[in-house]
A and B are shown apart, each in its own frame.
Chain A
Amino acid sequence: MSAVRDATGGRSTVIGGFALLVAALLAFLIADIPGSDLVTIGAIERALQAATPIALAAIGGLYAEKSGVFNIGLEGFMIFGALFGAVTAWAVSGGDGIGQADLWLGVLAAVLVCGLLAALFAVLLIRYEADQIVAGLAVWFIGLGFGPFISTVVWGGVSSPSLPNIDNVVVPVLSEVPIAGRLFFDASPLVLFTILVAVGAWVVLFRTRFGYWVQAAGENPEALDTAGVDVNRVRYATLIFSGIMAGLGGAVLSIGIGSGFTGTGVTMVDGRGWIAIVAYLFGNYNPLGTYGASLLFGAMDMLQIQLQTIGISLPGSITGLFPYVAVLVVLVVVGYTRVPAAVGEPYTKED
């Protein structure tokens, strides 16, 4: 299986790159070298937070594409996740005094709703062989329309009022450790969970039977079918998973780390679903590499604050564009990544 060999070969590069990145960050943090004002613990903390929604959606999208279905609707599912997370938390609390339990219920609802929507989407793509790109775009348009619509029905405006978010998990003693203490032992549980998800997704994809099915469904569906595994069932599973992950990413944006739902313009998701697609391409379909790429885009998103601290003041309308420019640079430099062989082709069993 050449796919497996590719993945293992890619892994050492990814791990090497990651080790290099961590070493560089540590050097910036500890040694007093030029540019160290740019890298502070606060900056890494913000980058980890900004990376979380992108990484969640990206890992979901990675599984779908690995299995041979391009879920280009990630952005739309994120909008629904952000919205339903906020709406549910608001509704179960009765509108005032939203507590932590309400917020967690909101996250759960976002995951369930998006899983359900993704199941419907999967039926259209797999059973009715819809054009994957066009149908995915449609999910985005539907989110852009119904997201602000539902918000208006619930709150009387396209955005929610300011809502609280999920508390950090503080581990006593360990949180006092320099650097790592603040980054990992006084952090949002969702940030930590996402790191675990990235590791777990790697293990499942490259070390379990299900992971091999996912890879085979994307590379050589006929062979998988011959081996007695239903290709389309694997694809249903990965598509629903990708909807769940994008929904979770959306909920993280609105009530996990953010402060409510914003529905103006292209909504608060603001292209993160699209960036997620580039994150897994850049990560070469490896969940760990994908997390690293998400961290890069998250850091770009937060660069404005860092530039200000070292005295470079650019208007927000320009610094807000850094992640998008980074995406373009990545796509042009990395260019063609080896897409799984059967992506975009509906699989019909030969009689």
Chain B
Amino acid sequence: MLRATVLERIVIAIVSTTLALVIGAGIVALSGYDAVEFVYSLVYGAVGELSNVAFTLRQSTMLILAGVAVAVAFRAGVLNIGVQGQFVVGGFAATLAILFLTPLLPENMFVGVVLMTVAGGAAVVAGGAYGALPGLMKAYAGANEVITTIMLNFIASGVVYFLLDAYLRPPGAAAPNTESFPDYVDLPGFAFGSPSFSVIGFGIALVTVAVVYVYMTQTGSGYDLVTSGYQEPAAKYSGVDPNRMIVRTMTLSGMIAGLAGALFAVMILGYYSDPNTFPTFGFDAIAVSLLAANNPLGVIPAGLLFGGLDAGGQYIGFTLDVPSELVDGVIGLIVLFVAAPELFRAAGRYTGLGGDTG
């Protein structure tokens, strides 16, 4: 969607991020805070201590998974802005699976693994179905997917909150949370010793990236998906039905988003809660994917970068009382710059640094 070569994209990603951070620091200074302290704390919050690194990796895990979900769709020319909703629905399905099956099964580690597997499967199915819905609307009714998926995000949060509040909240509980999952339904922390981050979760994200990459580059089905997004006439000529491709893309994207939701419920929360209070991984993932030029492999470094920004942003929120929303604004600026490669080409021509790319 954005015309640029690979080298250009990498340069654009780096320059966009730097420029957005510089503007962010400028706004911090204008608002009466210390800009140098801001940048230092941002970095310290991301990687300064082992527990900070664990938090960065935890956020990166979610952003890489959600980022791949976005990348699959954008690659195929379908603008799935609904990853957040598919994530919420997926996490809810995982929660239902765990809460309903737990009383029926014995309590041990092995059952824990089975439960987590079933929960992951339920999340993938639910997320995939919730992604397929706007896919069907686009393919067979011409409904613009940007708008339908945004509406479905609102609807997912509203309906899940309603069900949670009405049926899954333990009697007398003050907060709209479900009961906690049993101890044996959790991923082990290993070296990081963090209750909400597991290397296994990070591994699941990396494996998902690898699977998606292989699917999109090495299989005929994946190839059809990408070509129908970019060269619809060519794909049609070779007998590919573009409508089916749209539905398939949205389903696949929703499945990955659902898996991210399951990991969020099991690894990070250990229960389920009001989706309106969740972090907006599904939106930040759009920035991650765009920064990676919608390349599944590129999502890994982009996800790590944004995981660090997120962790750093929350750290400054606690320590400097610079509102952590600032980092959300900076992420928005990054997306804005990434959307305009021509801006950097013009800047390159102007400063004489652009070489022959201009």
Which A residues contact B (CB, under 8 angstroms)? 72, 124, 128-131, 133-135, 137-149, 152-153, 158, 263, 265, 270-271, 274, 277-278, 281, 315, 317-318, 320-321, 324-325, 327-328, 331-333, 335-336
Contact = CB atoms under 8 A, between A and B. Distances in A.
A145 B162 contact: no
A263 B325 CA distance: 10
16 contacts: A128-B342, A130-B339, A131-B340, A141-B329, A142-B336, A143-B332, A153-B323, A158-B323, A274-B151, A317-B159, A321-B158, A324-B158, A328-B148, A331-B143, A335-B143, A336-B141
Contacts of A277: 147
B53 interface: no
Given A130-B342, A153-B323, A324-B155, A331 B148 contact: yes
B340 A129 contact: yes
A141 B159 CA distance: 24
B148 to A, nearest CB: 6
Interface stretch (B264-272, B282-290, B298-306, B348-356): B282-290
Contact of A317 (B32, B137, B161): B161
B312 to A, nearest CB: 14
B333 A138 contact: yes
Given A124-B340, A149-B328, A324-B151, 10 more contacts: A128-B342, A130-B340, A135-B336, A142-B336, A144-B329, A148-B323, A153-B32, A315-B162, A331-B147, A331-B148
Contacts of A149: 27, 323, 325-326, 328-329
B327 to A, nearest CB: 7
B166 interface: yes
B340 A317 contact: no
A83 to B, nearest CB: 12
Nearest to A277: B147
A131 B339 CA distance: 5
Contact of B331 (A141, A315, A321, A332): A141
B146 A145 contact: no
Nearest to A328: B151
Nearest to A140: B332
B163 to A, nearest CB: 9
Given A277-B147, A320-B158, A324-B151, A134 B328 contact: no
B15 to A, nearest CB: 14
B1 A134 contact: yes
Given A318-B162, A320-B158, A124 B336 contact: yes
B190 interface: no
Interface of B: 1-2, 27, 31-32, 79, 81, 137, 141-144, 146-148, 150-152, 154-155, 158-159, 161-162, 165-166, 276, 283, 286-287, 290, 323, 325-333, 335-336, 338-340, 342-343, 346
Contacts of B150: 271, 274
Contact of A137 (B151, B155, B166, B286): B286
B36 to A, nearest CB: 19
Contacts of B332: 138-146
Contact of B159 (A133, A318, A333): A318
A331 B342 contact: no
Nearest to B81: A137
Contacts of A320: 158
A151 B340 CA distance: 29
Contacts of B162: 315, 317-318
Given A133-B79, A133-B146, A152-B325, A321 B154 contact: yes
A161 B166 CA distance: 31
A325 B228 CA distance: 30
Given A124-B343, A131-B339, A134-B1, A141 B154 contact: no
Contact of A128 (B143, B146, B335, B340): B340
Nearest to B326: A149
A149 to B, nearest CB: 4
Query: Which 9 residue pairs of A and B lie closest in terms of their CB atoms, listed nearest first?
Result: A145-B329, A141-B332, A145-B328, A336-B142, A142-B332, A130-B340, A138-B336, A331-B143, A138-B335
A317 B152 CA distance: 14
B335 A141 contact: yes
Contact of B155 (A124, A133, A278, A321): A321
B127 to A, nearest CB: 18
Contacts of A278: 147
B287 A141 contact: yes
Contacts of B147: 274, 277-278, 327, 331
Contact of A331 (B144, B166, B283): B144
A135 B158 contact: no
Nearest to B335: A138
Contacts of A336: 141-142
Contacts of A145: 325-332
Contacts of B330: 145
B188 to A, nearest CB: 34
Nearest to B313: A145
B31 to A, nearest CB: 5
B327 A328 contact: no
Contacts of A142: 329, 332-333, 336
A144 B328 contact: yes
Given A149-B326, A317-B158, A332-B137, A271 B339 contact: no
A246 to B, nearest CB: 16
B336 A332 contact: no
Contacts of B323: 148-149, 152-153, 158
